[in-house]
Amino acid sequence: MSRRALALMVAGFLTVVLALFGAMLPVPYVALSPGPTENTIGDANGKPVITIDGHQTYPTDGKLSLVTVAYQGGPDNRLDLLTALRGWANPSIAVVPEEAIFPRTSSLEQVEQENTQEMSDSQQWATAAALNALKVPIEESVSVAQTDKGAPADGKLKPGDVIIAVDGTPVTALESVATAVQKHKAGDPVKFTVRRGGSSTDVTLTAGKADDGRTVVGVRMQTSYKFPFKVDISVGDVGGPSAGLMFSLGIYDKLTPGSITGGKSVAGTGTIDPAGNVGPIGGIEQKMVGAKAAGATVFLTPADNCGDAVKAVPQGLRLVKVETLSGAIKALDTLRTGSGDVPACTAG
């Protein structure tokens, strides 16, 4: 073999080795792909997704499916370059910078905890939205979600404490607590009356000052609800707030005679608040692919996601624009009866 041929062979071998080595290098990206779907009026893992005790329920049919996004990668298990390149070439997969999913200011554990808390909140808000739509009275209260480490409230107020009053003034909403605290200066005593373990107790905190000059006590709050009957939602290892709309529709369907789907396979996504407002979500492209693969023919789309959705909608999947829970119910009723026009997503 000539020296030139040998050199070319060695160079070619080294090029292949380097290419293979480069393909295995980890890169700071995350691949998002269509995740599993769950029928909120059906079963998951052998048990109903939504269970209602203490109130009459009605038979349902069709599907009201929530859709999810699966991810591959992350700080503890980074993608290799070859997997990222394959994802970029696949229109049903989105490859995004790692910090878009895992902010550098948060650990993996913190992101997972936030997703779990968002799912828990969305279930509470979905139940509240459905019952509000049905004019079922519910009780609201303001409770402690957590306290900031080292803040005046740390160790004195506890998660789950229901805040009854601040300085003797009854608390009616989250904003009323902040308003009461803002009346003080740093160093002033602030008296919280809370319900803890079935009894009321007074807790006096010394107000502090935030970097922006606001008076604070370092308590993070949430609105809690007491429902007149039990609504249990079980979806396994799913996090985030984007299933709120479909939870609400599932609860509403089970509590009302007839079927709002008309036997259709309906999927959808969107956050929900207790007033029934539907908010935008991420991963709309992957969620539509997952919905289509699960047999859905109708996809309930938050209005703010319509622009992206119409650019990537799979063939045979009808996009219905929704802004509120009542709007979604009306649209499904129209689809079932064929009695009018249904709001559609448009490119504009």
What CATH number corresponds to the domain at position 254? 3.30.230.10
Q: Say if residue 231 is in the same domain as residue 255.
A: yes
Among 182, 198, 226, which residue terminates a domain?
226
Tell me: do 235 and 130 sit in the same domain.
yes
- Residue 21: inside a domain, yes or no? no
Domain end call among 198, 226, 254? 226
Residues of the chain with pLDDT under 50: 6-7, 10-11, 13-23
Check residue 3 and give its pLDDT.
Answer: 53
Same domain for 246 and 279: yes
Residue 67: what pLDDT? 94
Residues 241 and 183 in one domain: no
The total number of structural domains that make up the chain? 2
CATH code for position 150: 2.30.42.10
Judge whether 22 lies within some domain. Answer: no
Task: Check residue 348 and give its pLDDT.
Answer: 60
How far, in Å, CA of 311 to CA of 175, rounded?
Answer: 40
Give CA–CA dist 70/174, Å, rounded. 34
Q: What is the pLDDT of residues 51-96, one digit of tens each?
A: 999 999 999 999 999 999 887 777 777 777 777 777 667 777 777 7
Question: Are residue 274 and residue 314 in the same domain, yes or no?
Answer: yes
220 & 234 share domain: no
Residues 191 and 256 in one domain: no
The answer to whether 186 touches 207, Cβ cutoff 8 Å, is: yes
Q: Is residue 2 part of a domain?
A: no
* Same domain, yes or no: 251 and 114: yes
Predicted local distance difference test score (pLDDT) of residue 14: 46
Residue 145 lies in a domain: yes
Q: What is the CA radius of gyration of the chain?
A: 25
Tell me, yes or no, whether 125 and 239 share the same domain: yes
Q: Is residue 100 part of a domain?
A: no
Q: Rounded CA gap, 300 and 187, in Å?
A: 51
Together in a domain, 212 and 288 = no
Exposure letters 136-167 (e unless 16+ CB within 10 A, then b): eeeeeebbbbbbeeebbbeebbeeebbbbbbe
Q: Which residues are catalytic?
A: 242, 287
Domain end: 226, 260, 283, which one? 226
Nearest to 218 by CA among 145, 161, 163, 147: 147
Percent of the chain's residues with pLDDT above 70: 87
- pLDDT given at position 112: 66
Residue 12 belongs to some domain of the structure: no
**Residue 192 belongs to some domain of the structure:** yes
- Which residues does residue 228 pair with via DSSP β-bridges, in sequence order? none
pLDDT, position 32: 79
pLDDT at 133: 96
Residues 189 and 259 in one domain: no
The parent domain of residue 206 ranges over 139-226
| Alpha-carbon gap, residue 348 to 344, rounded angstroms | 11
Tell me, yes or no, whether 88 lies in a domain. Answer: no
Residues 214 and 312 in one domain: no
Residue-level pLDDT at 23: 47
Confirm if 223 and 105 have CB atoms less than 8 A apart: no
